[in-house]
Chains A and B, each alone.
Chain A
């Protein structure tokens, strides 16, 4: 046991002095908040943009009823440009509504009146405001249709045999969890990336700088040595997850979620729950990395294997999302997937049983230990020790 602590202490000192290890442990957590701010600002901008939509209309004087209808809904009607197509093409406006001269007379004769919507289908950022304009004109048209039927003594319901009523059972917090889907992803990545450098440096790095043979000559079991090395990577990984969580929380405090129609409760219990769910993943992540690195002859080789390996644990969660699998009992013990399910539940504000935490955490711990044990066995083999 003493040897484990000796190795752990040495590797931590070594890691703290290593610029590469410290960079990945500190830089990664700092990038998260930048992403959040960017996403939130963009989302808020889009939302604001759609509310401030100005509706440019050419020939507005032909359709005072439509103008009135639009203005009552909080939008501003402005005079349309002289050359609507050129204006849309140049990007001066997103779209232009054109009321033809025969509009009023067609309406009076109970014909179908036409309103032209000039738009550029390739401009993706104009989609929101165009659909607003489209919806406004359609809404006005429906109202006129109902009035025509009523004027002829027919119930408007005759013309609307079917209507759809949406029942959205997602709570606002669940919607927030959906929006926040990348938080679990980011924390899971943090567990893998922030400890990675130590996992590689203490195994493949040890072999590369030819210090493995002198180390193994000491009267200490391979398992003790590897437990110490593994735990040092676990410490870095846990610190990375906590740092990442802290910087995410700080960043999210600065976003106005009300404006996005999202209720995000990330108080102390949720933060604690998310951390409790993620931290044990460090055991598995570091264990798997130590195991993979022990096959590599050099630091670079190990890094290549491990960067490829990050995709493997992501696979279950990606598949689960593709097939939109819910929460099944067998997901809990699968590393990464289990953590993701747990975190999504915590963020959605659903009650999470201690059993789920235990199943997910213990499975990561056991699998991590198994990896370390296999590595220790490998390190008794001559071709692994001497890299032949």
Chain B
């Protein structure tokens, strides 16, 4: 469960995030949708405690992010914007390193790593060094190390970026599995089809403000269009800029 109230962030004179209010409930997949530069990554970075907000309140599973960033980080699994790996470590060692940093005890850590390697279909690459991994393999490792401590809340920043068709499908399966397990999933994207294929709820932001939120059906109704893509274009006001 994530609660965000009145979130604001300025870079110099530019308002990157300008008063966001939304909740992300457990057992649902929520999509943070918006064009490039809308403030999605900045919002997530504030939520996982690497950026300070100028104003506002954020809670993850009841933990205040600003007051106790480490406490909040402990309940979150995060696939951030940059997902660099250590080329000289194996996939399994990545998962182990992050599990240890999260303080997962030795006995359950190895079992959890094995289960994740199975779930993410990483059996073939688990004990290879990550140097030379394909984009899809790299994202799997990055996702694996984000989930190794079995977090209740999962933040994914453009998780399908750079993935091919098979990779994208695999990622969707994983996200659906997490929903089935009752987790709170928030992912950001600028691709309409992806969000519509997965999300129970959608939050559309543009220029740091929420322009619409609700179920996909709600959004169609609000915009008066038949397809979500048209709805997205109208709601974010991209078409006005284009004209």
Interface set of A (CB-CB < 8 Å, partner B): 2-3, 6-7, 10, 13-14, 17-18, 206, 209-221, 382, 385-386
Which of B26-34, B75-83, B185-193 lies at the binding interface? B75-83
Residues from chain A with Cβ under 8 Å of B37 in the complex: none
Which of B48-56, B113-121, B217-225 lies at the binding interface? B48-56
> Are A6 and B50 CB-contacts (below 8 A) given A210-B83, A214-B80, A214-B142?
no
Interface set of B (CB-CB < 8 Å, partner A): 48-52, 70-71, 73-74, 76, 78, 80-89, 93, 97-98, 100-103, 129, 142, 145-146
> Are A385 and B85 CB-contacts (below 8 A) given A214-B80, A214-B142, A219-B102?
no
Give CA–CA (A386, B81) in the complex, Å.
11
Give CA–CA (A215, B50) in the complex, Å.
11
Across the interface, do A14 and B74 meet the contact criterion of CB distance under 8 Å? no
Across the interface, do A217 and B78 meet the contact criterion of CB distance under 8 Å? yes
Output the nearest chain B residue to A19 by Cβ-Cβ distance.
Answer: B88
Q: For chains A and B in complex, what number of residue pairs have CB atoms within 8 angstroms?
A: 76
Across the interface, do A14 and B83 meet the contact criterion of CB distance under 8 Å? no
Residues from chain A with Cβ under 8 Å of B70 in the complex: 219-221
Across the interface, do A10 and B89 meet the contact criterion of CB distance under 8 Å? yes
Across the interface, do A218 and B101 meet the contact criterion of CB distance under 8 Å? yes
13 examples of A-B residue contacts, CB within 8 angstroms? A2-B100, A3-B103, A6-B97, A10-B97, A14-B86, A14-B89, A17-B88, A210-B84, A213-B80, A213-B82, A214-B83, A214-B146, A382-B50
Output the nearest chain A residue to B77 by Cβ-Cβ distance.
Answer: A217
Residues from chain A with Cβ under 8 Å of B48 in the complex: 217
Across the interface, do A385 and B50 meet the contact criterion of CB distance under 8 Å? yes
> Are A218 and B52 CB-contacts (below 8 A) given A14-B86, A17-B88, A211-B85?
no
Residues from chain B with Cβ under 8 Å of A221 in the complex: 70
Across the interface, do B100 and A6 meet the contact criterion of CB distance under 8 Å? yes
Residues from chain B with Cβ under 8 Å of A14 in the complex: 86, 88-89
Output the nearest chain A residue to B89 by Cβ-Cβ distance.
Answer: A14
Give CA–CA (A220, B84) in the complex, Å.
19
Output the nearest chain A residue to B97 by Cβ-Cβ distance.
Answer: A10
Residues from chain A with Cβ under 8 Å of B73 in the complex: 217-219
Give CA–CA (A385, B129) in the complex, Å.
26
Output the nearest chain A residue to B76 by Cβ-Cβ distance.
Answer: A217
Residues from chain B with Cβ under 8 Å of A3 in the complex: 100-101, 103
Contact of A219 among B50, B71, B80, B83 (CB under 8 A): B71
Residues from chain A with Cβ under 8 Å of B84 in the complex: 206, 209-214
Contact of A2 among B78, B98, B103 (CB under 8 A): B103
Residues from chain A with Cβ under 8 Å of B74 in the complex: 219
Give CA–CA (A212, B81) in the complex, Å.
11
Contact of B52 among A7, A206, A219, A382 (CB under 8 A): A382
Give CA–CA (A385, B50) in the complex, Å.
8
Residues from chain B with Cβ under 8 Å of A17 in the complex: 88, 129
Give CA–CA (A386, B142) in the complex, Å.
18
B87: min CB distance to chain A, Å: 7
